[in-house]
Every structure is written in structure tokens, then in C-alpha cells.
Amino acid sequence: MKSTSWYMIAALVALSLLATTTRLSAQDWKGSGRIGGKVVDDQGKPVANAVVKLRLAQAGNAGPDVKTDTSGEFSALSLRGGTWNIDVEAPGYAVQRLSVTLPAGDGRIPPVAVTLKKDVAGAQQKALQGLLAKGDELYKGGKFAEARAEYQKVLTARPDLVMVHRSIALTYGREHLYADALKELDSVLEKEPSDNALLQLAADAALQLGDTQRAGQYFSRMDLSKVNDPEPIVNLAIAALNKNQPNVAVQVLDPLVARFPQSPDPYYYRALAELQLQQMDKARADLEKFLPLAPPDSKEAQQAKEMLAQIKQPGERSARFVAAPRAAGAQPSRRSANPVRHGVAVAEAATHLRR
């Protein structure tokens, strides 16, 4: 027991000494040396108020910050000898990094000359962010052509920012220029072929053009396992129904029912598509699955009950539905904004620039 106590005491003393040594090394940058110099721009003019950060490598990169005066000169006193890493920063300029070796004791070195260059990349990024912000405001204000012009300026300067094509597509969509919207979306999909949101927008635009085959191709590329909300996909099916394309609606809703078996809407709208296709048995089954999941006082629930009352037992056919599959008052309509015509916030359109 006694031996164990001594081991514990020795370990605690060692840890205490290590902690003290670490604290000292992190702060032990002071001495009697000096580093001074001058900061100018690429035209040779002094840069005032530039921040000069001095960090001693042997002291855990600890050290002082000083600023240049109106002549661009700086001076740091009471420095310990060793390797000093120096970063010089000023607004509008790229950071300049250098290292110097200060002799021990009352060490002195020649004045350090630092030339700062304009931060062209940073200035361009700031300008492009301004164009995007202006485009976003114009878009929100309903000035779609003007917004598009601002987004085009961004692409002219930075063609690699392909996501800006998405913002441009949204402006075309709001003007019902769906062919132009598709061109822009395809430009993005070349780089982001599996982006569900983009594929949904493209499928919707194709439906608005009446190109159901192309819409189906976009939808077939979507990964529904990554979809957490069925509503946007339901809206895609509703667009197909509104375009009298029940086959496309069923194609969209079949995997959605499997992905969200407890969501009522996919059953309801698939039933409407099946009624248009005169598939009464399937429509009846979907309506019966829909009702227990739907709010009982909803308009859709009332319509489902009325439709079920008109659909006879499995294997039979109702002449009323054969003649007019929407006769029960179940005309589909978009529950929320058309994703191409309204879309999500344009402010998120150029994430590559804004990160």
C-alpha cells in the first residue's frame, strides 16, 4: 500500500511538471530581441494599419500582434531568439507569409520588407456575391428577366459555377419558358446527374411541355431512398394528372407508396390516376387505404368516400367512371407552388460560391 502511494505521488508530480512546462513553453516568447520592418503595396506605397502577427515556432506559435503606422512601418520588441513566422494582413490584400530567424540575446536583424498584393480573387468573389444578391432580390420582386441578367453576369465571370444555371432555370420557369428552363437544368445535371431536386425540376418542366417520355426519364433517375418528404414528388404526379398523363402519375406514385406507406396523399392521387385509366379495382383499393390515414374532415376524404360509393365491387365497372373518371369531383390541382415556376429559395442557388 505504501509503495502504491509513492507511485501515485510520483505520477502526480510528473503530470504537474509537464503541465507547468507546457504552459511555460506556450508563453515563453519574450526576450530582449527586436523585429521591425515596413509594409508597402505593389505600387510601393505604405500600407497603414496592416496587422503583423509574429509567432515563435519554439514557443508553440505564441507571440504578439502589432500594427503598421501611417508610414507602413512596424516594430515588435522584447522577442526571444528563434524562428519567427510572420503573417501580414490588410483589408483588400492577400495575406503575406514569411519566416525570419532572430539571434538569441539582444538579437537584431535587418528591417523586414513586406509587399502586399491586391486580393483579386477575394474582390471578385465579393463582386459576384453582390450580383447574386441583386439577382435574388429581383427574383423575389417578380422581375425575372432582370434577375436572369444578373445571374448571367455571374456565369460570364465564373462559368464553373454551374449551379447558377439553376437560378436561371427558375426565372425561365416563372415566365413559362420551360424549354429554356430545361436547357439550363440539363447544364447543371451534366455535373450533378443524381441531384434529386434538379431532376424533379426538370421532370416538372418536361411535363409542362407535354414531353411525358422525357419527364419519365428524369424521374427514373431520382433516388427516392434519399427523399424525406413525399409532397414534392406528389406534386410532380399532380402535374402529370393535370396534363392528362395518368400513366406518368402512376409511374411516379408507385415507388412513393412503397417509400412512404403511411402517407395518405400518394394513395389518393394514385387512385385518381387509376380512375382515369379505368383501373377501378386498383383505385378502390387505394381509396380504402387512403381513408384510414387521411384527416377525416378533409376535402380529399369526402371525395374519396363519394368515389368509393360510385365504384362497385371488385371486378365490376361503373359506367359513370368509364365515361368520366373525374365525375366525383376529384379534379387534381397543385397543392403548392409549381417547383419550376416558384422553386426553393434562389439564394441557395450558388452554394459553390457562397461556401
Instruction: Tell me the pLDDT of the chain averaged across its residues.
Output: 82
Minimum mean pLDDT range among 131-145, 240-254, 276-290, 334-348: 334-348
| Distance between CA atoms of residues 297 and 344, nearest Å | 30
| Distance between CA atoms of residues 266 and 256, nearest Å | 7
- Please tell me the predicted confidence (pLDDT) of residue 331: 45
Q: Determine contact, residues 104/27, Cβ cutoff 8 Å.
A: no
Closest CA to 89 of 122, 133, 56: 122
How sure is the predictor about 108, in pLDDT bands with cuts at 50, 70 and 90? confident
Rounded to an integer, the average pLDDT of 181-203 is 92
| Distance between CA atoms of residues 316 and 334, nearest Å | 31
Output the CA–CA distances (angstroms, integers) from residue 9 to 1, 3, 4, 21, 320, in the order listed.
Answer: 12, 10, 9, 18, 94
Domains recognised in the chain with CATH numbers = 28-118 (2.60.40.1120), 122-348 (1.25.40.10)
Closest CA to 57 of 80, 77, 79, 85: 85
Closest CA to 154 of 141, 173, 136, 140: 136
pLDDT in tens, 251-303: 999 999 999 999 999 999 999 999 999 999 999 999 999 999 999 999 999 99
Closest CA to 180 of 150, 145, 216: 145
What is 241-283 written as a DSSP string?
Answer: HHTT-HHHHHHHHHHHHHH-TT-HHHHHHHHHHHHHTT-HHHH
pLDDT surpassing 60 at residue 351: no
Rounded to an integer, the average pLDDT of 136-147 is 96
Closest CA to 156 of 136, 128, 135: 128
pLDDT over 70 for what percent of the chain? Answer: 80
Q: What's the grid cell of residue 217? A: 426519364
- Please tell me the predicted confidence (pLDDT) of residue 315: 52
Rounded to an integer, the average pLDDT of 105-116 is 90
Phi and psi at residue 31, to the nearest 5°: -160, -145
Q: How many residues does the chain have?
A: 355
pLDDT surpassing 80 at residue 107: no
pLDDT surpassing 90 at residue 120: no
Q: Determine contact, residues 165/188, Cβ cutoff 8 Å.
A: yes
Q: Determine contact, residues 163/343, Cβ cutoff 8 Å.
A: no
Question: What is the DSSP secondary structure assignment for residue 111, as one 8-state letter?
Answer: P
